[in-house]
């Protein structure tokens, strides 16, 4: 362990999420989670 705290975030812009939905979704069936500050 490096002793560092990992504070990175996974964020999907609304334009990415909309484009993925228009394309029929992710082929693997993965659903893009809705991002909220509280959930992060």
DSSP-derived secondary structure for 1-40 = --S----------HHHHHHHHHTTS-TT---PPPP-TTT-
Give residue-wise pLDDT tens across range 7-26.
887 788 889 889 999 999 88
pTM of the model: 0.55
Average pLDDT taken over every residue of the chain: 84
Question: pLDDT higher for 40 or 35?
Answer: 35
Distances (CA, A) of 2 to 7, 10, 24, 26: 14, 21, 41, 34
Residue 40 has a pLDDT of 67
**pLDDT for res 23:** 93
């Amino acid at each position: 362990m490096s002793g560092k705290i990992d504070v990175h975030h996974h964020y999907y812009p609304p334009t990415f999420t909309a484009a993925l939905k228009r394309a029929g979704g992710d082929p693997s069936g993965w659903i893009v989670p809705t991002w909220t500050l509280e959930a992060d």
